[in-house]
Chain A
Amino acid sequence: MTKQNDDMKVRPDYRHAYPVLVILFVLVTAGLTVRRLLVPKSFGEYGYFRADAMDDEKAIQPRHVGRAACVECHEDIAAIHAKDVHASVECETCHGVGGKHVKDNDVPMARADAKNDCLVCHRQLDARPGSFPQVDWQKHYQFVGVNDPTTACVRCHSGHEPLYLDHDLRTARLHPLIQQCNSCHMGRTDETLKKPDTHPKIFQCDYCHADLAKSFAQGSHTKVSCTTCHLFIKETAFSGRIVRNTNPKFCLLCHRKEAFKGNAGGKESGPPTIEWPAHIKDVSKDALDPNRPCVNCHQDQIHALYTKEAHHAM
């Protein structure tokens, strides 16, 4: 017994620990190998994720091309589009994604000329901001006298320049000038905002209707302002008609030989007055319709007629 005790003091017996150490070594080695195999290469580069995943995401090809790509070929349309209120609308918002069309021009873009395409944005909704032009199309068609419900909006309103009507104003009878400042300037911070002097004088009739103003100045009504005769009838906050006003009763308010407010009837300083309805019999032996517009005969005393050519030359 004493000899055994002496041996243990000299050399402790650790043999029982060897298998444990070997097993530990194998486990750690295997663990590290498995970890190396399982954990992706770039894991932990920026955080607890695989950094290469960002490259996977970056590798996706964009499909929207942006208007800069459209302008390369469609410069003419882009120039018109940039001037009008739809300038803030991207080409691809209406015409769809352009990636394929840019690569192969034979792949068509969406035309977006159906009524429902316009109504996506302009249909009257209660949640739509009140400052945004929106329309109850049935009421609108009734107002402007369009009977065919299948008529597309683009028959009158050009999608690229909606403020100017494609049709002759007297046919369409809608005046575009019922926009608020932010209808055009929404989101724009370009130089024009800082130069109000160079802004188009859209609230002066002669800025757009220069030809009419010129002939009007040569006529006899120069003291009368445009809006005295051409009243504006509001349809919505955004649209309405400028009335041509050919009702003879309107002319007679000033020109009838009867006292009307300041017009004491045939004063020299006032406008020329006539007897009514005797005047009609004076000018024509045939019994004419008393509702016949005065301007049918007196147009040249007011201003020249509005022509489609003149409008398009503007």
Chain B
Amino acid sequence: MPCNDSISRRTMIRRLAIGASGTLLLSIFPKLSFGKEDAPGASQTPAKKRPLYAYAVDTSRCIGCCACMRACRAENDVPEGRFRTWVERYRVRANGEALVDVAAQDNFVFTEPPAEDIVKAFFVPKLCNHCEKSVCSQVCPVGASYESPEGVVLVDQKRCIGCGYCVQACPYGTRFIHPETHTAGKCTLCYHRITRGELPACVLACPKGARMFGDLHDPLSHLSVFMKQRRYRVLKPEMGTHPKCYYIDLDLEVV
């Protein structure tokens, strides 16, 4: 069949351009895309601002008793050999060599007596940093890893396919694949507790108050006041993850 009514190249390019710009316009239309919006009821009650939870660790107070690790395990059913939080021990020798270890067995108790050639030693509790720009959420292919509106990085256990991308992506090594459920596991800041107005189990268990938790949107919260008074830094700021876990008295040895 002869086809004499072919359009010119110019016309075709023009039509394609119009079509492409139309598609682009549609895609930025907010209702069609998954944007970060507040809850539908949030605008109706402006008096109560949504909290922004954050965490602080005063390493100078940590005595390395690992009560936090035991409490976390008891509260969250963390599997054997995996950790949602852990306490690292840094010991620096006179020649500058740094030894880093974790009491991973025997109820998480450090037992070695002090060694003579150690010139500097301290404990650093670690946990999920609940980053503002969390890498783990960005790489999740199924949208199972996410940041809740309160700033807590969580895992949707029903959607996670256990691919382990997030475990690889986290610069702080805070994630693991649960050996039984085969889904990603991580610190939830005890989301079930904090949404009931209670403290995370590790903060509750810490006998020296080395771990602090609070709402950054509340200027009178324990954490907000603390951060106005103390000097702090975050782990691996060069990663651009904007962590919400602030460390006080951190040594350069700590990574």
The answer to whether B192 touches A59 (Cβ under 8 A) is yes
- Main DSSP-derived SS at the A contact region: loop
Known contacts A46-B149, A88-B209, A186-B208; decide if A126 and B115 are in contact (CB<8 Å). Answer: yes
Q: Is the CB of B204 within 8 A of A66?
A: yes
Q: How far is the CA of A125 from the CA of B101 in the complex (A)?
A: 13
B-side interface mostly: loop
User: At the interface, yes or no: B75 with Cβ under 8 Å from chain A?
Assistant: yes
- Determine if B192 and A49 form an interchain contact, defined as CB atoms under 8 angstroms apart: no
> Would you list which residues of chain B between 58 and 88 have a CB under 8 Å from chain A?
60-67, 71, 74-75
In the bound complex, CA of A59 to CA of B110 (Å): 35
A120 surroundings in chain B (CB, below 8 A): 65-67, 107, 109
Chain A residue nearest in CB terms to B123: A127
Q: Which residue of A lies closest to B192 (CB)?
A: A60
- CB of A58 within 8 A of CB of B74, answer no
Q: Which of A43, A92, A124, A187 is close to B114, meaning CB atoms less than 8 Å apart?
A: A124
Segment from A128-136, A242-250, A269-277 that makes contact with B: A128-136
Interface-side segment among B18-26, B194-202, B240-248: B194-202
What is the size category of the interface that chain A forms with chain B? 35 or more
Instruction: Decide if B175 is an interface residue (CB 8 Å cutoff).
Output: no
Is there an interface contact between B110 and A127, defined as CB atoms closer than 8 Å? yes
Chain A residues whose CB sits within 8 angstroms of the CB of B114 once the complex forms: 124-126
A48 CB–B CB distance under 8 Å: yes
For the complex formed, measure the closest distance between the CB of A88 and the CB atoms of chain B, giving whole angstroms.
6
- Quick one: given A127-B122, A186-B209, are A50 and B159 in contact (CB under 8 Å)? yes
Tell me the chain B residues, 117-159 only, with Cβ under 8 Å from chain A: 118, 121-123, 137, 143-149, 154, 156-159
As a 0/1 sequence over residues 178 to 211 of chain B, the CB contacts with chain A under 8 angstroms (1 = contact) are: 0000000000101111011011010011111100
Please, how many angstroms separate the alpha-carbon atoms of A124 and B118 in the complex?
Answer: 14
Q: Which residues of B have CB within 8 Å of A149? A: none
Q: Find the B residue at minimum CB distance from A128.
A: B63
Q: 8 tightest A-B contacts by CB?
A: A49-B146, A53-B156, A127-B121, A126-B114, A60-B192, A187-B209, A44-B34, A89-B207
